[in-house]
Structure 1
Amino acid sequence: MSGNLYRGQAGLPFSSSLRIYEPLEAFPPEQQRQLVADSGRVGSRAAVENAELQASLGRITRSGGDPFPTGRTDLVRMTRVPTGRHAAPEPGKEGTADDGGRLLYCPSQLVVRAGLAANALMDGVHSPLADLLIPVSQRDKHQLRIDRINAGDDAKRVHTRASTWGIPFSWFSLFAESDRKDVVEADGHIVTVRVWTPLTEALDRARFAVAHLALAAPDLDMLDDLTQLTEWLELFHVQSMVELDYGAVADKVYPDESPMDVRLGIECLAEGDMTGAAAAYRRLASRWIPIRQLARAS
């Protein structure tokens, strides 16, 4: 399998990611050595994305019925931020070894994430279909890989959250209109948009949203999502960066005002302005419900 699949994902589900990039000292010593070694061989960000996509397609088409990653190799994304202050990555500096600034790392952790995805699949479809897609023998084999990872340090800190066919509204609460955006384009289309913010800013915004929703709309599903997001963010180093990677869905929705609409909706709820909150939700729904309906299209 060859070519740049990353730039031409026609026919693949829209997939978006929320990632945490941490400084080297946030990782256990053995993993630090591996990250440093990987930083010498990883190419551009586009090359990393393409390699990961090709590997995932290769797993689901290989013989033997095992779609899981083995963990023998794992990709790492890197970005460079100016030292001495929290700032968004500079354009074109991701994954490079230029002088100046500080490298932050986001390991793919494909073995653990594949296990989580398989569990979600088992909970979301009928058992006979799940057994057909992922044989029990292969799930058991993969669980052994996960158990080996869980026996080590740092097992709970999964650096990437993924979503298909749309971005959860709770993710947008971590970002603001003023945050840095990288728009990646190719052949007249937007390949992705990446939004960056320091972890401390993301945590402040998440806690603000949780506090206001807990008072104004305690039964809202988004409150549970935001509470889980806050607990997740609290696992990481204070000097980390948070990245929202739209993926190919960016070509359908960008320019996107979802972070502003989520913030305004929460503020309106806190002030008892139901009309304003409803208007913000309508704007979000008009933008994202058509994307989510694609998941059920034939």
Structure 2
Amino acid sequence: MTGNLYRGQAGLPFSSALRIYEPLEAFPAEQQQALREAGARSASRAAVESAELLASLGRITRPGGDPFPTGATDLVRVVAVPHPDGSPPPASTAGAGTRSPDAGGLGSLRYCPSQLVLRAGLAANALMEGIHGPLAQLLIPEEQRDKHQERIDDVRAHAGLGRVHTRASTWGIPFSWFCLFQESDATDVVESEGHIVTVRIRAAIGEALERVRYAVAHLALAAPDLDMLEDLTQLTEWLELFDRESVVELDYGAVADKVYPDDSPMDVRLGIECLAEGDMTGAAAAYRRLASRWIPIRQLARAS
């Protein structure tokens, strides 16, 4: 399955994601059973990723000109985290949805619904409001946008969702995301056929919030005009929406094969510390390391 996923990604834009996994009890009561059942259907993480990729490719070629997800099914990612007493999580999340949410300890499983209907609507709105708005209106007819808005209204009415659990980025990872993680955080490197399919780094949301607030405080004093400060402020507000027992995950996606091993979390942290100390030489060196790693990736977006 992982090998098929790697081959299926060939030729597609690099896409990375920042996800929040919450304990089951953090979701509305009427949604919990659906999450549990969706988790049970997710035999493995690779199966979820492959199903999402195939579904997205299917929407592109769907007759009728409607590129939006219908919401008939919503994929759910599940991760297991250590118990409060420090004992390890289950060896694998494969079939984890079949377990009781309290099996083996308090809140050992965390859930991240894909929320494709909501996210597709937000992405379409951003596209319409951007510089490519006129082109987007041709590609996505108003009739299809109105139809999808009805789906969004229906999802919100029945699921009561006020939080979007996933942020996505194409052709590179925003530097602000790296502020949430450190080298000591749990890291999974997924490989297949001699390639890195993805790298996933996870941190407790409390730790992630401490790190991003530290970065905001220092940048506000040392570099208040830096664009990254606004990104970090928005990131902080987003994290604060979720349950304190949540887990944050950075999923590199296929770009990991180009950049990993990756020192970006350390370089971002060192750059901010140097700015706070007035060490412009050190801050510039950290930025050069980041730029040499990520600018070539972003340039691929314009390659023919």
Q: If the TM-score is normalised by the length of the shorter chain, which range does it land in?
A: over 0.9
Q: Name 1:100's counterpart in structure 2.
A: 104
Q: Tell me, yes or no, if the aligned pair for 2:275 and 2:283 is still in contact at 8 Å.
A: yes
Q: Which amino acid aligns with 1:266?
A: I
Q: 1:234 is matched with which residue: 232, 236, 240? A: 240
- Determine whether 1:181 maps to 2:187: yes
Q: Which runs of 4+ in 1 moved over 4 A?
A: 2-5, 85-91
Q: What is the TM-score normalised by the length of structure 2?
A: 0.93
Separation in structure 1 between the aligned mates of residue 255 and residue 90 of structure 2, nearest angstrom: 23
- Determine whether 1:124 maps to 2:130: yes
Q: Name 2:200's counterpart in structure 1.
A: 194
Give the unaligned 5+ runs of structure 1: none
Q: Name 1:203's counterpart in structure 2.
A: 209
Q: Name 1:23's counterpart in structure 2.
A: 23
What's the secondary structure of 1:261's corresponding residue?
Answer: helix
Moved more, 185-194 or 36-45: 36-45
Q: Tell me, yes or no, if the aligned pair for 1:165 and 1:291 is still in contact at 8 Å.
A: yes
Separation in structure 2 between the aligned mates of residue 271 and residue 118 of structure 1, nearest angstrom: 42
Q: Using the aligned pairs only, state the percent identity.
A: 73
Q: Tell me, yes or no, if the aligned pair for 1:88 and 1:198 is still in contact at 8 Å.
A: no
Q: Name 2:70's counterpart in structure 1.
A: 70
Using a 3 Å threshold, how does the CA distance of structure 1 residues 125 and 6 change in structure 2: closer, same or farther?
farther
What's the secondary structure of 1:277's corresponding residue?
Answer: helix
Separation in structure 2 between the aligned mates of residue 85 and residue 105 of structure 1, nearest angstrom: 21
Q: Which amino acid aligns with 1:17?
A: A
Separation in structure 1 between the aligned mates of residue 82 and residue 269 of structure 2, nearest angstrom: 28
What's the secondary structure of 1:113's corresponding residue?
Answer: helix
Q: Name 2:80's counterpart in structure 1.
A: 80
Q: What is the TM-score normalised by the length of structure 1?
A: 0.94
- Determine whether 1:293 maps to 2:292: no
Moved more, 106-115 or 3-12: 3-12
Deviation at 1:133, TM superposition (A): 1.5
Question: What CA deviation, in whole Å up to 9, does each residue of 1:75-100 have, x standing for no partner?
Answer: 00001112215899666336535763
Q: Which amino acid aligns with 1:135?
A: P
Q: Which amino acid aligns with 1:147?
A: D
Question: What CA deviation, in whole Å up to 9, does each residue of 1:128-177 have, x standing for no partner?
Answer: 31122211110111111112233456432100000000000000000001
Q: Name 1:53's counterpart in structure 2.
A: 53
Deviation at 1:72, TM superposition (A): 1.2
Separation in structure 2 between the aligned mates of residue 6 and residue 280 of structure 1, nearest angstrom: 34
Q: Name 2:11's counterpart in structure 1.
A: 11
Using a 3 Å threshold, how does the CA distance of structure 1 residues 89 and 179 change in structure 2: closer, same or farther?
farther
Deviation at 1:32, TM superposition (A): 0.4
Question: What CA deviation, in whole Å up to 9, does each residue of 1:160-199 have, x standing for no partner?
Answer: 0000000000000000011111000000000000001000
What's the secondary structure of 1:40's corresponding residue?
Answer: helix
Q: Tell me, yes or no, if the aligned pair for 2:220 and 2:229 is still in contact at 8 Å.
A: yes
Separation in structure 2 between the aligned mates of residue 92 and residue 188 of structure 1, nearest angstrom: 23
Moved more, 201-210 or 30-39: 30-39
Q: Which amino acid aligns with 1:182?
A: D
Moved more, 283-292 or 30-39: 30-39
Using a 3 Å threshold, how does the CA distance of structure 1 residues 135 and 5 change in structure 2: closer, same or farther?
farther
Q: Tell me, yes or no, if the aligned pair for 1:86 and 1:198 is still in contact at 8 Å.
A: no
What's the secondary structure of 1:158's corresponding residue?
Answer: coil
- Determine whether 1:155 maps to 2:161: yes
Q: Tell me, yes or no, if the aligned pair for 2:28 and 2:159 is still in contact at 8 Å.
A: yes
What's the secondary structure of 1:204's corresponding residue?
Answer: helix
Separation in structure 2 between the aligned mates of residue 87 and residue 209 of structure 1, nearest angstrom: 31
Using a 3 Å threshold, how does the CA distance of structure 1 residues 39 and 155 change in structure 2: closer, same or farther?
closer
Separation in structure 2 between the aligned mates of residue 277 and residue 3 of structure 1, nearest angstrom: 39
Q: Tell me, yes or no, if the aligned pair for 1:79 and 1:95 is still in contact at 8 Å.
A: no
Using a 3 Å threshold, how does the CA distance of structure 1 residues 183 and 222 change in structure 2: closer, same or farther?
same
Q: Tell me, yes or no, if the aligned pair for 1:174 and 1:206 is still in contact at 8 Å.
A: yes
